[in-house]
Amino acid sequence: MTIIALDTATSILSVALVAGAFSTQKEQWYFELDAGQRHGELLMEISDQLIKTAGLKPGDMDMVVCMKGPGSFTGLRIGFAAAKGMALALGIPLLSIPTLDCMAVSCSLWPGIVIPVIDAKKQCYFTALYRNQQRMTEYLDAAPARIITLIKNTAGPKEGILLTGPDGHRVLPALHAEFSADPGIQDQIRLDPWGSRGWARELVELAQRKVYPGNREALEQVRHTGEVFSGPLYVRKSDAELQKQQLL
């Protein structure tokens, strides 16, 4: 099975391609770039080049995967538009996977709580709490104070806490300040040094978990979920929606 994955949820644009039933390093191709606001300009060009580098053609793709969100409103829309275009043009299924799940799965070996963090502006963050790759909260648009409350209600004694994602460093000072009087907890808080990067590899990994085992049967199930007609998970309403809501 050949899967192409598009990550446009943050400023780091990444694309991954994997071919084969169970991939090995030789069967994977990956590219990432700090694209800023240029996702729409670069995404299809990078995807086409990656397919060519792999010695494949667009028609060889079996599935396209994109970030479901949360993340950049514009970036998510660009990713969905490109993924839907590929799915419809090539007649292949589209699968979208929550951004925070991808960030958490990269820290699967961490023996404690994993908290992926994306800046949602307005002094809030898109986040959720995970343990052993299992999400323990809803997807949140939360201020640091709420994140701290969730940690207090969830973390076990001396359980490690790992902040990951592109904006974990923004929440870290608030956690250190809150737990400054409790060295036992503060010493357990860590920042993932690899949190600010692309996540297309994790998109591929979670997509493979979705369709294996079962291969074609599972693939057909994905095809009939209708994700080609779905949209991003924003978590927070856009400013335009909030303004409209205030007027009603």
Residue 138: which CATH number?
A: 3.30.420.40
Tell me: do 210 and 89 sit in the same domain.
yes
What are 95-130's pLDDT values in tens digits?
A: 999 999 999 999 999 999 999 999 999 999 999 999
Domain boundary among 145, 169, 191: 191
Tell me: do 59 and 116 sit in the same domain.
no
Tell me: do 131 and 157 sit in the same domain.
yes
Domain boundary among 191, 217, 236: 191
Domain boundary among 161, 191, 221: 191
What are 131-186's pLDDT values in tens digits?
A: 999 999 999 999 999 999 999 999 888 899 999 999 999 999 999 999 888 777 77
Tell me: do 95 and 202 sit in the same domain.
yes
Name residue 66's beta-bridge partners.
Answer: 6, 96
Tell me: do 11 and 91 sit in the same domain.
yes
Tell me: do 21 and 86 sit in the same domain.
yes
Tell me: do 120 and 95 sit in the same domain.
no
Instruction: Give the separation between CA 44 and CA 58, rounded to whole angstroms.
Output: 11
Tell me: do 213 and 95 sit in the same domain.
yes
Tell me: do 139 and 223 sit in the same domain.
no
Total domains present in the chain = 2
What are 61-91's pLDDT values in tens digits?
A: 999 999 999 999 999 999 999 999 999 999 9
pLDDT of residue 92: 92
Tell me: do 89 and 205 sit in the same domain.
yes
**What is the chain's alpha carbon radius of gyration, rounded to the nearest angstrom?**
19
Instruction: Identify the domain containing residue 180 by its residue range.
Output: 107-191
Tell me: do 184 and 205 sit in the same domain.
no
Instruction: Give the separation between CA 18 and CA 61, rounded to whole angstroms.
Output: 10
What number of residues does the chain have? 248
- Confidence band for 218, pLDDT divided at 50, 70 and 90: low
Tell me: do 64 and 177 sit in the same domain.
no
Tokens coding 231: 């949209």
Q: Tell me the DSSP string of 100-148.
A: HHHHHHTTTT-SEEEEEEEE-STT-EEE--EETTEE-S--EEE-HHHHH
